[in-house]
Amino acid sequence: MMTVFLLSSLIMACRKSNGPALYDLGVVLQGEFVEDKVQVYIDGQTLFNGKAKTDLSVGIAGSIGTTNTEGNHTIKVIVNNNLKALESFEQHSNLYITVDYNRSENKISFGYSAIQKFYN
């Protein structure tokens, strides 16, 4: 009986290790958000859909944490239903993405870091 349990445990462990690796993915909204409607998508899946307002004391409007599989992905950000930015990225470890909104230039830019620099 113990042999059957050990064998089934070993099979289950091997099955889990065959799947794609999962890593932390953090997205930080920063810049000049002023009650702006913001939508953030990872690979077409909604990660955030709401209002964002930058806290001027820290320069951050919000942060979102999730897990993501290893490999190639896309991030898409829409601000106020009219400004859109889409970019591909690769994830092979924990990854933290900054979404910087420059209101005066009407521009969204992305930054990437393996080191968590912001609050979740």
pLDDT digits (tens, 9 = 90+) for 50-76: 999 999 988 899 999 999 999 999 999
Q: Report the chain's C-alpha Rg in angstroms.
A: 19
pLDDT at 115: 84
Q: Residue 118 — very low, low, confident or very high, per pLDDT cuts 50/70/90?
A: low
Residues 7-22, buried b or exposed e (16+ Cβ, 10 A)?
A: eeeeeeeeeeeeeeee
pLDDT at 117: 62
pTM to 2 decimal places: 0.81
What is the CATH T-level fold of the domain 20-113, as seen in this structure? Answer: Immunoglobulin-like (2.60.40)
Sketch the domain layout of the chain as residue ranges: 20-113
